[in-house]
């Protein structure tokens, strides 16, 4: 079978990239080459931004209710191709089919939410701000927006931005992760089928050069970024210097606190899913479990048993509960952290370094890995590992546990397991992370609520989706009127 070379989608047509470097897109479970993705150039970005700028005047004048109709059609197409996109996601990312289906489903929820744009985009008004004078605040689109997304949720993360940007009357350019460009290729085919006018949505494949071109291009009014903190910081700084709106969602090190009064069997299974789901490659994944008092021993023993029951393998196969990590490079990174943890004195309770899957020698396998006796200054406790590795820590009481959580430079999400409303309330008030789960291991992204962390996990003011998206993608213009 010939391996396809991917094209960009610009001005309503699939066009070849100007870039001459091609990267292999590989199935992380089998090593099979699925496609070749071009590293597009600043010239490709100019073309896409130019097409989006050309489409903007007519699109912003299209009534919101008509813009929403395109999204209704797009949502119907996504529903009809849900399973197909899920399977593409599993082939390029490695996660299990169940995980891919929920990835697509959460993406679709954003399209559904953005379909309400005639209501979401309404302004405010007040008559008689002074005698005979009325005032109103209206929302207006701004122009061309760009988004840059990571490898770990190929269908969903681009849909945190695209539906809201275009529903608000802007035009849009996406750069998906070069590691997983295939789900978005299919999504863009469906956008074309939905009949959006040429140039309203565009896709440019590539990596760093495309990102830097977005940040510098004077035609781009705003940038949404999701990825690691180092790149998020770079995008945030560069866009700000160039006078652009920017929201940059970064990496994570999520703590889970288990209190002695937690419902232990339920907590343990839920914590296990949080840690090892998507092979630990979720920005909401638990990666440090703090057992408070006598909870420590119970949660350690329960997690060890649950982790041993995980079935590693090709996510496309029934019965597999954990897939591979994304690439050999990611595997090396995870293994080097495990080695560092051992050197620093953490105790390996379960070692996934030598895990393999029969008949799939080309997969990037790392088995569930559990460290105990982890101290806060160890690299495994401080850095984002982004793999199926968990660190267990002890705390004397809730106060100590909150101290450990708040000492982290990250602040994406954190969960507490408890049956005490008092403990839960204390935690939600005092823990720093931007998203808190109470007896929920993944503080899941809900389309109709804003999404984003705090501290080193988020750079910007306006978070993703929810009402924050409408603020991000519109200018709030104030008009004050008097008639003589």
- Give Cα separations from 241 to 46, 50, 234 (angstroms): 19, 22, 11
Binding status of residue 292 toward ligand NAD by CB under 6 A:
no
Please identify, using beta-carbon distances, which residue of 398 and 431 lies nearer to ligand NAD.
431
Q: Which residues of 319-336 are buried (b: 16+ CB within 10 A; e: fewer)?
A: ebbbbbbbeeebbeebbe
Q: Where are the beta strands (DSSP E) in 230-352?
A: 245-249, 254-258, 286-292, 347-350
Residue-level length of the chain: 484
Binding status of residue 412 toward ligand NAD by CB under 6 A:
yes
Q: Contact with ligand NAD (CB under 6 A): which of 124, 208, 430, 477?
A: 208
Binding mask 12-51 for ligand NAD (x = CB under 6 A): ----------------------------------------
Q: Contact with ligand NAD (CB under 6 A): which of 47, 92, 103, 178?
A: 178
Please give the structure tokens belonging to residue 405.
């959580």
Q: How far is the CB of 293 from ligand NAD (least distance, A)?
A: 30
The residue with tokens 């406790």 is 381
Strand order through the sheet with 124-130 = 124-130, 133-140, 475-482
- Among residues 115, 272, 278, 283, the one annotated as catalytic is 283
Q: Contact with ligand NAD (CB under 6 A): which of 86, 302, 453, 466?
A: 453
Distance CA 186, CA 183 (A): 5
Residue with the CB atom nearest ligand NAD in the bound state: 227
Q: Which residues of 364-376 are buried (b: 16+ CB within 10 A; e: fewer)?
A: bbbbbbbbbebee
Would you say 381 and 372 are in contact if contact means Cβ atoms under 8 Å apart? Answer: no
Please give the structure tokens belonging to residue 194.
């939905």
Binding mask 350-389 for ligand NAD (x = CB under 6 A): ----------------------------------x-x---
Distance CA 46, CA 112 (A): 31
Would you say 151 and 93 are in contact if contact means Cβ atoms under 8 Å apart? Answer: yes
Stretch of 89-97, 191-199, 207-215, 345-353 lying at the interface with ligand NAD (CB under 6 A): 207-215
User: What is the signed CA dihedral for 117, 121, 191, 158, rounded to 10 degrees?
Assistant: -110
Looking at residue 420, the DSSP 8-state letter turns out to be: -
> In the annotation, is 283 catalytic?
yes
Binding mask 211-240 for ligand NAD (x = CB under 6 A): x--------------xxx--x--x------
Distance CA 434, CA 455 (A): 8
Stretch of 102-110, 145-153, 193-201, 294-302 lying at the interface with ligand NAD (CB under 6 A): 145-153
Query: DSSP characters for 382-399?
Result: HS---SSEEEEEEESSHH
Distance CA 292, CA 275 (A): 18
Binding mask 125-144 for ligand NAD (x = CB under 6 A): --------------------
Secondary structure of residue 193 in the 3-state scheme: helix
Binding status of residue 158 toward ligand NAD by CB under 6 A:
no
Please identify, using beta-carbon distances, which residue of 77 and 381 lies nearer to ligand NAD.
381
Binding status of residue 150 toward ligand NAD by CB under 6 A:
yes
Q: Contact with ligand NAD (CB under 6 A): which of 8, 30, 90, 152?
A: 152
Binding mask 244-283 for ligand NAD (x = CB under 6 A): -----xxxx------------------------------x
Q: How far is the CB of 414 from ligand NAD (least distance, A)?
A: 13
List contacts with ligand NAD (CB under 6 A): 148-152, 157, 175, 177-178, 207-208, 211, 226-228, 231, 234, 249-252, 283, 384, 386, 412, 453, 457
Residues known to be catalytic: 283
């Amino acid at each position: 079978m010939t391996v396809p070379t991917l094209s960009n989608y610009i001005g309503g047509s699939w066009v070849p990239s100007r870039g001459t470097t091609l990267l292999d897109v590989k199935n992380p479970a089998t090593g099979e080459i699925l496609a070749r993705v071009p590293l597009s150039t600043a010239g490709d970005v100019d073309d896409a931004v130019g097409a989006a700028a050309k489409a903007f005047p007519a699109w912003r004048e299209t009534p919101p209710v008509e813009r929403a109709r395109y999204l209704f059609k797009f949502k119907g197409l996504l529903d009809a191709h849900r399973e197909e996109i899920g399977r593409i996601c599993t082939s390029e990312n490695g996660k299990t089919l169940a995980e891919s289906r929920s990835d697509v489903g959460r993406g679709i929820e954003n399209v559904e939410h953005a379909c309400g744009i005639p209501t979401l985009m309404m302004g405010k008004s007040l008559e008689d701000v002074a005698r005979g004078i009325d005032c109103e605040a209206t929302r207006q689109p701004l122009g061309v927006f760009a988004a840059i997304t990571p490898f770990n949720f190929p269908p969903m993360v681009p849909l945190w931005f695209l539906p809201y940007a275009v529903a608000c009357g802007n035009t849009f350019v996406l750069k998906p992760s070069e590691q997983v460009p295939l789900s978005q290729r299919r999504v863009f085919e469906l956008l074309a089928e939905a009949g959006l006018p040429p140039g309203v949505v565009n896709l440019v494949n590539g990596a760093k050069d495309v990102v830097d071109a977005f940040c510098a291009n004077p035609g781009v009014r705003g940038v949404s970024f999701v990825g690691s903190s180092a790149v998020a910081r770079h995008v945030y700084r560069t866009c700000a210097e160039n006078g652009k709106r920017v929201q940059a969602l970064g990496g994570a090190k999520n703590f889970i606190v288990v209190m002695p009064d937690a419902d232990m069997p339920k907590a343990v299974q839920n914590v296990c899913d949080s840690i090892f789901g998507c092979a630990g490659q979720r920005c909401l994944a638990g990666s440090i479990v703090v057992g408070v008092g006598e909870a420590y021993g119970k949660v350690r023993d329960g997690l060890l048993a649950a982790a041993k029951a995980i079935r590693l393998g090709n996510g496309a196969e029934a019965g597999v509960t954990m897939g591979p990590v994304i690439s050999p490079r990611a595997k090396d990174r995870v293994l080097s952290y495990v080695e560092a943890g051992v050197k620093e004195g953490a105790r390996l309770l379960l070692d996934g370094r030598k895990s393999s899957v029969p008949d799939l020698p080309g997969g990037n396998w790392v088995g569930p890995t559990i460290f105990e006796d982890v101290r806060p200054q160890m690299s495994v406790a401080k850095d984002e590992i982004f793999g199926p590795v968990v660190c267990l820590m002890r705390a004397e009481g809730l106060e100590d546990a909150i101290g450990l959580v708040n000492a982290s430079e990250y602040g994406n999400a954190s969960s507490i397991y408890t049956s005490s409303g008092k403990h839960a309330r204390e935690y939600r008030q005092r823990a720093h992370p931007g998203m808190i789960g109470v007896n929920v291991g993944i503080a899941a992204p809900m389309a109709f609520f804003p999404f984003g962390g705090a501290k080193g996990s988020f750079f910007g003011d306006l978070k993703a989706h929810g009402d924050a998206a409408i603020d991000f993608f519109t200018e709030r213009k104030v008009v004050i009127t008097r008639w003589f």
